[in-house]
Amino acid sequence: MAMMRLRREDPRVVGTFRLHRRLGAGGMGVVYLGSDKRGQRVALKVIRPDLAEDQEFRSRFAREVSAARRIRGGCTARLVAADLDADRPWFATQYVPGPSLHDKINEEGPLSPAQVASVGAALSEGLLAVHDAGVVHRDLKPSNILLSPKGPRIIDFGIAWATGASTLTHVGTAVGSPGFLAPEQVRGAAVTPATDIFALGATLAYACTADSPFGQGSSEVMLYRVVHEEAQLAGVPDALAPLLASCLAKDPADRPSTLSLSLRLKEIAAREAHGLSGGPLENGAGAGAGWERRLSERPTGRRAEEYARQRTERRTGGSTPRPHAPRPAAPRDAAARPSGPASAAGKGPRTGGRAARGAPGARPPGRNGSRTPVRTTSGGRRPGPDRRLLRQRIIVFVVVTLLVALGIAAAQGCQGPTSGLGVERPAPVASYGGAGADGPWGAGEQIP
């Protein structure tokens, strides 16, 4: 956004904000770049002195500021502060860095269909938040849309308008620009959310062609065309032309709702971004009650499958996952087992007993008959935990140890009256367990 130095007549401080540069001027007043004590930057608009003296203007200004405080949305510049009772009323909104849509197109030319649909979808979401708060922008145009690094932002809300500003006799102070005003604004009728839909349609047509859909000329000529002539959409891409034509309908009732417009623009943006074709717009370009249903339709059939497949490929890194084939049973013979990096290097997990008494090099059996090392994300191999096999080995070791100990004891008890070292055994004293009792040393054997 172009900035200019402060002029001699410009204030240096407004409220708690220090002013640094001029950002622009319009029918309502001058916009400045300011900052507070914490360094937060704002766009601060000071109302013109002649409008500040109009009591009706101040009343409307107060109502609209109160409604604007309720706006919540990522695609709008949030209202930061306002002073309704100052000699010259003012309000400050969040400062948005980035060029306006008007400057972008003026310097680089029209946007692609995918870009126009993407910008339109974001703007329609922003308008949805505005309309839910009970506010109508009334001045949506390319110069009031900033392309910030985080996406397009709507600025400079039509928070107030002068007495009779919606009539031709005061068009100089009217909120809105002749090429983007809705017919009801020109006629002096009440504005509704459909008024912003008309302005958004004209703005998106400008993004496609770098020109207003009602051409160029004086304010009176432009306003006449808006009311009595159809919009010229010859340079608008086919994917967007029917939708923009419905937005530019003369009757507000024939325009799509803000929610329907948002859904339809999202669908077009996705379709154009992926080079797909087809959709409900190809069968008609009319406006009216049918558009409410067609704009809210979701993609179905082959297009829906294509969208799902593309989303899956993006999540999996470009390849569609396939079902795993059943794992073949491990061969019993080690010679029949295919060799791999781990087995060839001899670095598999050591499980003892040369693979549980199997052939040399065979892997020990696990729960499923074969134990397969688990592959890590880095490509290495590590053995999976098998606590049951470990318990079995401990039990076998304990049992074998006890049997060996009992065998040694039994062998010593079965020797003669003298031990192998020539030491004489003492004479028996008594029978274990009484006469004829069977003890652990055999039936009738004497305890030493």
pLDDT tens readout for residues 1-43: 568 899 999 999 999 999 999 988 877 889 999 999 999 999 9
pLDDT beyond 70 at 365: no
Instruction: Look up residue 412 and give its two tokens.
Output: 């010593």
Question: Is-contact 156 95, C-beta < 8 A?
Answer: no
Residue 141 lies in a domain: yes
Over range 71-80, report the average pLDDT.
82
Domains: count for the chain: 1
pLDDT band at 82 (very low <50, low <70, confident <90, very high): very high
Q: Is 64 helix (H, G, I), strand (E, B) or coil?
A: helix
pLDDT the model gives residue 305: 57
The total number of residues shown for the chain amounts to 448
pLDDT beyond 90 at 194: yes
pLDDT beyond 70 at 225: yes
pLDDT the model gives residue 415: 55
pLDDT 10s digits, 249-288: 999 999 999 999 999 999 999 998 876 444 433 333 333 3
Residue 273 lies in a domain: yes
Residue 52 lies in a domain: no
- From residue 275, alpha-carbon distances to 113, 255, 305 in Å are 11, 28, 15
pLDDT the model gives residue 103: 93
Residue 83 lies in a domain: no
pLDDT beyond 50 at 306: yes
Residue 419 or 50, more confident: 50
pLDDT beyond 60 at 426: no
Question: Is-contact 3 21, C-beta < 8 A?
Answer: yes
Please report which residue ranges of 140-257 form alpha helices under DSSP H: 183-187, 193-209, 219-228, 241-247
**Residue 105: domain span:** 98-311
pLDDT the model gives residue 76: 85
pLDDT beyond 50 at 440: no
pLDDT the model gives residue 266: 94
pLDDT beyond 50 at 138: yes
pLDDT beyond 70 at 325: no
φ, ψ (nearest 5 deg) of residue 204: -70, -35
Contacts of 344 (CB under 8 A, 6+ apart): none
Spatial separation of the C-alpha atoms in residues 99 and 106, rounded to whole Å: 11
Contacts of 20 (CB under 8 A, 6+ apart): 6, 32, 33, 34, 35
- From residue 393, alpha-carbon distances to 270, 347, 352, 353, 389 in Å are 61, 21, 9, 10, 6
Residues β-bridged to residue 424: 418
Residue 317 lies in a domain: no
Known catalytic membership, residue 139: yes
The total of other beta-carbon atoms located within 10 Å of residue 225's CB is 19
Instruction: Look up residue 17 and give its two tokens.
Output: 């904000």
State the DSSP code for 19.
E
Spatial separation of the C-alpha atoms in residues 241 and 221, rounded to whole Å: 24
pLDDT beyond 80 at 336: no
Spatial separation of the C-alpha atoms in residues 84 and 221, rounded to whole Å: 36
Instruction: Look up residue 163 and give its two tokens.
Output: 């007495």
Residue 236 lies in a domain: yes
- Tell me what percent of the residues of the chain surpass a pLDDT of 70: 62
Residue 50 lies in a domain: no
Spatial separation of the C-alpha atoms in residues 267 and 308, rounded to whole Å: 14
pLDDT the model gives residue 166: 42
Residue 65 lies in a domain: no
pLDDT band at 313 (very low <50, low <70, confident <90, very high): low
Catalytic member of 139, 211, 251, 254 = 139
pLDDT the model gives residue 317: 53
Query: CATH number, domain at 243?
Result: 1.10.510.10
pLDDT the model gives residue 312: 59
pLDDT band at 165 (very low <50, low <70, confident <90, very high): very low
pLDDT beyond 60 at 134: yes
Spatial separation of the C-alpha atoms in residues 365 and 50, rounded to whole Å: 94
